[in-house]
Amino acid sequence: MDRLFSSESVTEGHPDKVCDYIADSILDAALEKDKDSRIACEVTCATGLCVVLGEFNTKTDFIDVQKIARDTIKEIGYTDPTLGFDYRTCAVLNCINEQSPDIAIGVENSVEARSSDSVHPYDRAGAGDQGMMFGYATRETDELMPMPIVLAHKLTRALTAARKSDELDFLRPDGKAMVALKYENGAPVGVKTVVVSAQHSESVSDKKLRDGITECVIKRSISKDFLKGAEILINPTGRFVIGGPAGDTGVTGRKIIVDTYGGAIAHGGGAFSGKDPSKVDRSASYYARYVCKNVVAAGLCDKLLLQVGYAIGKARPVSLFVDSYGTGDDERILAVINKVFDFRPAALTDKLGLKNPIYRRTTNYGHFGKPDLPWEQLDSVELVKSEY
């Protein structure tokens, strides 16, 4: 069946992503000094203001929240006070508290551990939250990701590259992009519409802006064949001078669809940034992606959705569900997954090395599809094949 499907991405200067990046930078700082840190960091920012909130449980003597926040804001590119938000002059408020002992009990002493005198070490750590997490992989792209979100991320990466290199020196940090893709018989065949909204200097002309983004961003991100006949919309409102936290309040965790699969599949609702791996809405989502990618790469199906459900304080998941959309044998795939992969939080954390300070690398342009991240590795393909 022919259809259209859209996905969007945002730049690192988008106000919500500013908050995500600060939160993950603080998380990495804690993990660098104490790999067992329990961090749930939330950030909000607005005109001239950045507020860091959350619950921390760490042996780290001191986390310099002020310096981390300002350095991160500077790195993103908010260095000009006339933008209404910059790293030197914004107020940074630290409102961090200790983690609730009720949560810590379940994480450190799971339901399984409390019900038996002798349990496997992986059974001792319970999930840090309840909820449903989803993983996905598809053969649409080399990354085994849906093509609309891959193209949208390419556009926002290109926007940032053109700004930071001064090739398009009129660009400012905030921006977003969306791609509407045409599908025929389930396969992507071309772009219907590209939308790019980019913050810019007040002095740049509309023509210079549109020409620059068309040539240096859109044409470099999407192939000529895929762009043929596409509608291109650049700053559809006409102007985008006021942006970033001065134009819209930012909050951690509001870009969960940008962070994952661009809306191609269901989402459990849990955000990622600022959370240590005991929070399964982050770590289990990463592991579910790892499982799906290895299963699809092993040739068991062409695309795969995996849902895993957890109860807070319980080590073993309460449910696993798969859907290969008719491209594989779901019952056999689920049996292989149960045999090969271990979804207990401590097990998946060890497997993916999630206690390492790797989270700043995940924040921008999607948490999935980046080849250097642990959950993107195809090191279980042969094992999956052998068990099928």
- Predicted local distance difference test score (pLDDT) of residue 295: 98
Q: What is the CA radius of gyration of the chain?
A: 22
Alpha-carbon gap, residue 387 to 333, rounded angstroms: 10
Percent over 70 (pLDDT), the chain? 96
C-beta of residue 52 within 8 angstroms of C-beta of residue 289: no
For 154-181, what is the mean pLDDT? 98
Q: Is 90 exceeded by the pLDDT of residue 60? A: no
Contacts of 270 (CB under 8 A, 6+ apart): 129, 131, 133, 256, 279, 281, 282, 285
3-state secondary structure of 74: helix
The residue type at 267: H
* Pairing mode of beta strands 38-46, 91-98: unpaired
For 314-322, what is the mean pLDDT? 95
C-beta of residue 186 within 8 angstroms of C-beta of residue 39: no
- Predicted local distance difference test score (pLDDT) of residue 122: 86
- Predicted local distance difference test score (pLDDT) of residue 105: 60
Q: Which tens digit of pLDDT belongs to each residue from 342-372?
A: 999 999 999 999 999 999 999 999 999 999 9
Distance of CA 370 to the CA centre of its chain: 10
pLDDT, averaged across the chain: 94
- Predicted local distance difference test score (pLDDT) of residue 247: 93
- Predicted local distance difference test score (pLDDT) of residue 121: 81
* DSSP class per residue in 120-182: -GGGSSPBSS-EEEEEEEETTSTTSS-HHHHHHHHHHHHHHHHHHTTTTTTEEEEEEEEEEEE
**This prediction's pTM:** 0.95
C-beta of residue 173 within 8 angstroms of C-beta of residue 247: no
Q: Which tens digit of pLDDT belongs to each residue from 105-117?
A: 657 667 776 776 6
Q: Is 70 exceeded by the pLDDT of residue 1? A: no
Percent over 90 (pLDDT), the chain? 88
- Predicted local distance difference test score (pLDDT) of residue 100: 66
For 23-39, what is the mean pLDDT? 96
Q: Which tens digit of pLDDT belongs to each residue from 193-246?
A: 999 999 999 999 999 999 999 999 999 999 999 999 999 999 998 899 999 999
3-state secondary structure of 311: coil
Q: Is 60 exceeded by the pLDDT of residue 118? A: no
Distance of CA 245 to the CA centre of its chain: 20
- Predicted local distance difference test score (pLDDT) of residue 111: 73
> Of 201, 239, 192, 234, which Cα lies nearest the Cα of 216?
234
- Predicted local distance difference test score (pLDDT) of residue 339: 97
251 pLDDT band, cuts 50/70/90, is very high
Where does the chain show beta strands of DSSP type E? 3-10, 38-46, 49-57, 91-98, 131-138, 171-184, 187-200, 231-234, 250-251, 303-310, 319-323
For 275-281, what is the mean pLDDT? 95
